[in-house]
Amino acid sequence: MPYLESLKVFVRVVELGSITAGGRDLRLTPAVASNRIKELEKRLDVRLFNRTTRKLTPTEAGQSFYDHARTIVENVEHAEAVIAGFAGSPHGVIQVAAPLGVGKRIVAPLVPRFVESYPDISIRLRLSDRKVDLLDDRLDVALMVGTPPESTLTLRKIADCPRVLCATPEYLAARGAPQRSQDLTEKAHNCLLLRYPRSPEYFWTLQTPEGPIKIEPAGSYDSDDGDVLTAWALDHRGIVNKPVFDVAEQLESGHLVEVLPQTPPMDAIFGCLYPHRRLQDPKIRLFVDFMVAQCRVQLREMQSGYFRGR
């Protein structure tokens, strides 16, 4: 077992780029993680990392060993999960990612309820509006809102999420309400944009009677945090493109009003992404089933006021 634990530390140190980060991910102090790496190098009689004061990179031998070590760790974890299913006592850690908005408002409140039902399962929730890579980041499940990526990952759909363009009455009084989608591409209006490297929101896709159209909105504000965009919109800074559930309360109160309702943005898909083999792990299957059922309930409740008012 100590050797397997050392392999786990080595794999995470390679993936996260530092002994401190690798140890923290496994709930180990930097000193303990460093000792595990030293023990592994001593056992293998080879240097696994090139170390400088600023950077830690695997040696050629270390990179080759990583490819095999990662496979060993994944296979052992998978085998343990299968046996836990036979024993009827799912346990262990589930690594979960979600976008900030849906993560804070829907996913995070549900996590304690899941853990209360399955106290031997721990959830590590990572929230970010940036795209994640389930395989490279060693995630078990990623909640997503948007367009599913083309990949080998399995998607469990939760719901279609209507989106809305909205701004404050004060912003529209100062700038005038846009009358057509092309108005959003001109400097007369300021669109608030969710942007980061490879972000899909460099363009907005709107629904029209002639079919979907893609526009490149104009705007002098962008952020990789969707909540920042909402705050800017509420501060009368521009027009934001948001899932309805994310701004339903502000729309119902009148702090935000819908813009261009005749050409709304395309619906987003809300779902769970996971590598196919992960669902063979009983704890992952339990978590996905729980989230799909509970998120649907939460989503309906959050959007009900908006749809009553239409």
pLDDT in tens, 12-50: 888 888 898 888 888 889 899 999 999 999 999 999 998
Give yes or no for residue 290 having a pLDDT over 60. Answer: yes
pLDDT at 111 over 60: yes
170 with 121, same domain: the answer is: no
pLDDT of residue 178 exceeding 90: yes
DSSP assignment of 204-223 equals EEE--TT--EEE----SEEE
135, 217: one domain: no
Average pLDDT for the chain: 87
Same domain, 37 and 52: yes
CATH number of the domain residue 144 falls in: 3.40.190.10
What DSSP designation does 154 have?
A: E
Q: Are residues 31 and 119 in the same domain?
A: no
What tokens were used for 162? 């209507």
103 CB burial (10 A radius; 0-12, 13-18, 19+): buried
pLDDT at 86: 56
> Are 54 and 74 within one domain?
yes
Do 154 and 200 fall within a single domain? no
Residue 166 confidence class, pLDDT cut points 50, 70, 90 = very high
**How much is the pLDDT for 21?**
85
Verify that 241 and 273 share a domain, yes or no.
Answer: no
- Asked if 143 and 63 sit in the same domain, the reply is no
238 and 229 in contact (C-beta within 8 Å)? no
Domain housing 150: 90-161+269-308
Decide which of 23 and 166 is more confident.
166
Does residue 153 sit in the same domain as residue 199? no
Looking at residue 197, its pLDDT comes to: 64
* Claim to verify: residue 80 and residue 11 sit in the same structural domain: yes
Number of domains the chain is built from:
3
Distance CA 54, CA 50 (A): 11
Most confidently modeled of 102-116, 182-196, 291-305? Answer: 102-116
